């Protein structure tokens, strides 16, 4: 599925907004309570909304680094075939969630918001030609959960992907 930079940006923005809506008004204790998320293709490793924020944050930070490195003509470590296996993906997901559990909820949410703003800035810098010929295929690859529609992440775990966006 090929999306324009605007469509991809809209999905990223909506995905972020869905996660923020899910955590709106919750304190650290409420964020840490048991919360069932939908499992992705690598399993389910989020036991709370705090975990989901950490998971989405880690994924966004890695993808921002992928795009930044690509803009400098380099491949990010995560694109190596050694890192793109289900086993390594599960290990990275579990490690990211575990690391997120060590951060206070307010710091985690602040970092999520900052990273999301950086992603939107990055996407705003792509013109149609750069997107179509260079960045779009890479961004689509890294922002797609295998077997799912591109540019959704939190929405997938929250079972909240808009019906028309599948």
Domains of the chain in sequence order: 5-165 (1.20.120.450)
Check whether 41 has a pLDDT greater than 70.
Answer: no
pTM: 0.91
Quick one: 12 exposed, middle or buried, by C-beta within 10 A (0-12, 13-18, 19+)?
buried
> For 77-102, how does the pLDDT look when each residue is reduced to its tens digit (9 = 90+)?
999 999 988 899 889 989 999 999 99
Residue by residue, DSSP assigns 19-33 as: HHHHHTT--HHHHHS
Q: What is the pLDDT of residue 37?
A: 86
């Amino acid at each position: 599925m090929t999306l324009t930079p605007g469509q991809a940006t809209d999905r990223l923005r909506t995905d972020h907004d869905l996660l923020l809506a899910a955590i709106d008004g919750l304190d650290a204790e409420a964020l840490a309570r048991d919360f069932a998320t939908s499992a992705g293709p690598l399993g389910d490793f989020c036991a709370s909304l705090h975990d989901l924020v950490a998971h989405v944050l880690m994924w966004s930070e890695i993808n921002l680094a992928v795009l930044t490195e690509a803009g400098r003509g380099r491949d990010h470590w995560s694109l190596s075939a050694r890192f793109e296996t289900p086993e390594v993906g599960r290990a990275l997901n579990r490690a990211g969630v575990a690391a997120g559990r060590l951060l206070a909820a307010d710091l985690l949410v602040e970092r999520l918001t900052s990273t999301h703003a950086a992603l939107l800035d990055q996407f705003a810098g792509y013109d149609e030609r750069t997107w179509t010929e260079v960045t779009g295929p890479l961004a689509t690859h890294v922002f797609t959960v295998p077997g799912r529609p591109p540019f959704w992440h939190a929405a997938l775990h929250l079972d909240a992907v808009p019906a028309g966006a599948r």
